[in-house]
């Protein structure tokens, strides 16, 4: 299998695996913004994006607007961009969607990464201005990606598959509860109609009305006579007709499909679960590329 991660050979990881697996690493930075790019990787791609966002910030700064501050929370579950005071999540970038990350060799404050948007599927380039720790943040994202990829390989997708099965069973339970409620309503309706019929005929013929016997589930026991054609009740009054069985699908007395524990196929599972697994596999296979480059080719463009 191709390596899913490439990084600078002369650099080492900044944190322990436990810090990124069980917790997150926080960083403070200024958020220059994000812009759509055409490619998921490439130095020239991020360089153009940085210059574009810096120019936009120069204009806003001249208008008196300040660059908003954000808090980055980096872990094996992704890179979250939050508002520092309220902790409101502005962006949640999952690691398998991040394909490129770079910091500026000449300016230790600027770093950027490319992430595929979960809704539009467009590639967005996020640009930040940190307190001279751009390289550390870049390496932290790389380490988180590496750990997440290893965890994904070790689990073999079992975690996702387990959630898939649980979701399927939950959906099946919900369907059975709905089916049970419908059957109960049908039984109550049949009981009501039967009692109404018996009451309406008893005064004229002096027939004593007897409450139908019920089983331990408070339901009228099933009678084999229901498989026959509609039979006249006492005094010539017909009982309500019983729904017929479909020739194509086996159904029970009330027209519902019986539960079959050996027939819980993939059709019962939410379709987005498998697509999520496929997306994660594709993202990790594409890999994350870390680079140190020079974003600002023009000295006038070196400051935000």
State pLDDT tens for residues 42-82. 999 999 999 999 899 889 888 888 999 999 999 999 999 99
> CA angle, corner 146, sides to 145 and 151, nearest 5?
95
Q: What pTM value is reported for the model? A: 0.58
143: phi then psi, degrees, rounded to nearest 5? -65, -40
- pLDDT at 277 (0 to 100): 73
Residues 80-128 pLDDT 10s: 999 999 999 999 999 999 999 999 888 889 999 999 998 888 999 999 9
**3 backbone φψ class: left, alpha, beta (φ>0; ψ -120 to 50):** beta
Q: Average per-residue pLDDT in the chain?
A: 76
Q: In terms of pLDDT, which residue wins out, 204 or 100?
A: 100
High-pLDDT (> 70) share of the chain, %: 65
Helices 271-286 and 158-205: angle between axes, nearest 10 degrees: 170
The larger pLDDT score, comparing residue 207 to residue 132, is at 132
pLDDT confidence of 215, banded at 50, 70, 90? low
The predicted pLDDT at position 262 comes to 33
Examine the pLDDT at 212 and tell me if it is beyond 70. Answer: no
User: Which residue is it, tokens 């390496």?
Assistant: 139
The answer to whether residue 230 scores a pLDDT higher than 50 is no
Whole-number Å distance between alpha carbons of 270 and 171 = 8
Q: What is the pLDDT of residue 245?
A: 46
Most confident of 19-23, 159-163, 226-230: 19-23
The pLDDT of residue 225 is above 80: no
CB atoms within 10 A of CB 222: 11
Which of 151, 112, 96 is CA-nearest to residue 286? 96
For the beta sheet containing 25-37, the strands, ordered from the edge strand earlier in sequence to the opposite edge, are: 5-6, 288-293, 98-104, 110-116, 123-130, 25-37, 69-75, 78-82, 89-93
* Lowest model confidence (mean pLDDT) among 1-15, 50-64, 202-216, 245-259: 245-259
Number of Cα atoms under 13 Å in the Cβ half of residue 204: 9
| Coil/strand/helix, residue 230 | coil
Q: What are phi and psi of 198, to 5 degrees?
A: -70, -40
Q: What are the Cα distances from residue 18, in Å, to 75, 133, 148, 261?
A: 10, 21, 12, 41
Q: How confident is the model at residue 279 (pLDDT cuts 50, 70, 90)?
A: confident
**pLDDT value, residue 202:** 61
């Amino acid at each position: 299998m191709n390596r899913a991660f490439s990084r600078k050979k002369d650099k080492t990881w900044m944190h322990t695996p436990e810090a990124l697996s069980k917790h997150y690493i926080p960083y403070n930075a200024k958020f220059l913004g994000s812009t759509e790019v055409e490619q998921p990787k490439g130095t020239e791609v991020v360089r153009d994006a940085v210059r574009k966002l810096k120019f936009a910030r120069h204009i806003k700064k001249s208008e008196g607007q300040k660059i908003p501050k954000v808090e980055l929370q980096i872990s094996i579950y992704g890179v979250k961009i939050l508002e520092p005071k309220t902790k409101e999540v502005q962006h949640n970038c999952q690691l398998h969607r991040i394909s490129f990350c770079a910091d500026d060799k000449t300016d230790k404050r600027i770093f950027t990464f490319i992430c595929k948007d979960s809704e539009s599927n467009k590639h967005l380039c996020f640009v930040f201005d940190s307190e001279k720790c751009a390289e550390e943040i870049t390496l932290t994202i790389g380490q988180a990606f590496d750990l997440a990829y290893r965890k994904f390989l070790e689990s073999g997708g079992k975690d996702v598959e387990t959630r898939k099965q649980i979701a399927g069973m939950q959906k099946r339970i919900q369907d059975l509860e709905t089916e049970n409620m419908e059957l109960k309503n049908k039984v109550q309706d049949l009981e009501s109609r039967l009692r109404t019929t018996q009451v309406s005929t008893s005064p004229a013929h002096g027939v004593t009305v007897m409450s139908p016997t019920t089983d331990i589930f408070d339901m009228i026991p099933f009678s084999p006579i229901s498989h026959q054609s509609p039979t006249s009740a006492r005094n010539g009054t017909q009982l309500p007709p019983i729904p017929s069985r479909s020739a194509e699908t086996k159904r029970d007395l009330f027209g519902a499909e019986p539960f079959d524990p050996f027939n819980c196929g993939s059709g019962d599972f939410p379709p987005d679960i498998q697509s999520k697994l496929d997306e994660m596999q594709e993202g990790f296979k594409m890999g994350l590329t870390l680079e140190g480059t020079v974003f600002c080719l023009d000295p006038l463009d070196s400051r935000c």
